[in-house]
Amino acid sequence: MSRNILVTGGAGYIGSHTVLQLLLGGYKAVVVDNLDNSSETSINRVRELAGKHGSNLIFHQMDLRDKPALEKLFASQTFDAVIHFAGLKAVGEKVMAAHGCKKLVFSSSATVYGWPKVVPCTEEFPICAMNPYGQTKLFIEEMCRDIYKSDSEWKIILLRYFNPVGAHSSGYIGEDPRGIPNNLMPFVQQVAVGRRPELTVFGTDYGTKDGTGVRDYIHVVDLADGHIAALSKLSDPSIGCEVYNLGTGKGTSVLEMVAAFEKASGKEIPIVKAGRRPGDAEIVYASTEKAERELNWKAKYGIDEMCQDQWNWASKNPYGYGSPEPTK
C-alpha cells in the first residue's frame, strides 16, 4: 500500500510543488490548508498535472488550530508522516503522537543563520533570529529538538531552505504572493509583467562582487524533491532529530539574478539603487555536503532554468492564480 502523507500548507508555493512530486513518486497526499495565503486553484492544477496519480490527492480546507477537526482527520486514517509547511503555528504534535504518527518534516529557513561570519553555511553553525519570521523558525526548530529529547521514538527532519525560486516547468503552478512581494524574484516577476515600474535594489555597497547581496537561489522543484528525500530518510532507524540545508551551494548576487531573468524573459527590468534593507545579510549560501551525503539529494537546476521557469509561470499567469486560465 502506498504511504499516506499529511501535508499542512500544501496549497502554497513550496507545498504545491512538493505535493506534485509526492504524487508522481507514488505517495498519497492529504493536504490541509486554510487558504489564508494560497488558492485552491493550485490544488486543482496539481491534481491535473499528476495525471493518473491525481486521485491520490485529498484536500481539506481546514485551520490547523482547529483541534477537533485535526483529531477527526487523524482518527479517520493513518498517516505515515507529516510534512509541515503551514505558516506560523506548529502542527499539534500531541495529536500526532496520540495517533501514533511520530514522523515529521518541518520547513525551516536559512534565515536562522543570520549574518553568517563565513560561508558556506554548515548545519552546525550557531543559529539566531534577525526578525520575527526567523524567530518563529528558531522557536519551532527548538520545539522539535525538545519533542525528540522527551520521546526518542520521534523522527524529525528540519529542512533549512535557502532561496526558493522558479516554478514547475509546465508554468501551471508557481508563486503567487498576496500584496507587495517582499522577496526578490516575485518582485522581479511583477516588474516583468508590468505590474510594477521598477525593482528597488536594496544595498549596493556590500563586500560582494558587484556590491549587491548574495544568496543561494534554489529551483522550487529541486526543493520539493528534497522533501521526498527527507521522507525516505525518516525510515532510517538511526535518525532522530536532524537538520539539513536545502540549497545549491552557489552564491548569486541581486544584479546577476536580474540579468539572468532579463535573458530568460527578454524583458528589461528597470532598477533603482537604494540603501540596505535592515536585517539583511551580505552573503548567504549553503554547504550542501550533509544533504548530499545523508539524503542522497542534490539540486539539479541552475539560475538560467530557475529564471526560464519563473518567466514561463509569470507570462502565463501575470496575476497569479487570479489570472484567466492559461492554455497548456
Catalytic residues: 133
Q: Which of residues 42, 163, 252, 288 is near ligand UDP by CB under 6 A?
A: 163
Contact pick of 19, 31, 73, 201 for ligand UDP (by CB under 6 A): 201
Shortest distance, CB of residue 295 to ligand UDP, whole angstroms? 22
Whichever of 200 and 296 has its CB closer to ligand UDP, that residue is 200
Is 177 a binding residue for ligand UDP by CB under 6 A? The answer is no
The answer to whether the Cα torsion of 190, 192, 195, 200 is positive or negative is positive
Cβ closer to ligand UDP: 165 or 231?
165
The reply to whether omega before 120 is within 30° of 0 (cis) is yes
What are the DSSP E strand ranges found in 89-180?
103-109, 155-161, 163-165
What is the residue type of 81? Answer: A
Q: Does 202 bind ligand UDP (CB under 6 A)?
A: yes
Count the neighbouring beta carbons within 10 Å of the beta carbon of residue 152.
10
What is the distance, to the nearest Å, from the Cα of residue 232 to the centroid of all Cα atoms in its chain?
A: 18
* Residue 187 binds to ligand UDP (criterion: CB under 6 A): yes
Residue closer to ligand UDP by CB (options 64, 199) is 199
CA atoms of 129 and 297, how far apart (whole Å) = 27
Considering only 131, 182, 232, 235, the residue that binds ligand UDP (CB under 6 A) is: 182
Applying CB under 6 A, the span of 3-11, 181-189, 219-227, 286-294 interacting with ligand UDP comes to 181-189
Task: Give the nearest distance from C-beta 267 to ligand UDP in angstroms.
Answer: 16
Q: Which of 254, 291, 299, 307 binds ligand UDP (CB under 6 A)?
A: 254
State the minimum distance, in angstroms, from the CB of residue 197 to ligand UDP: 13
User: What CA–CA distance (Å, rounded) separates 70 from 76?
Assistant: 10
CB nearer to ligand UDP: give 246 or 254. Answer: 254
Residues 208-237 vs ligand UDP: string with x where CB under 6 A?
-----x-x----------------------
Report d(CA 193, CA 314) in Å as an integer. 7
Q: Which amino acid is at 313?
A: W
Residue with nearest beta carbon to ligand UDP? 213
> What sections of the chain are H helices per DSSP?
13-24, 40-49, 67-76, 93-98, 132-150, 184-192, 220-233, 254-265, 289-290, 303-316
Q: How far apart are CA 127 and CA 199, in angstroms?
A: 30
183 near ligand UDP (CB under 6 A): yes
Name the CA dihedral angle for 255, 166, 216, 160, rounded to a multiple of 10 degrees.
150
State which residue, 86 or 284, has the beta carbon closest to ligand UDP: 284
Give the count of residues interacting with ligand UDP (CB under 6 A): 15
- Interface positions with ligand UDP (CB under 6 A): 163, 182-184, 187, 199-203, 213, 215, 254, 277, 280
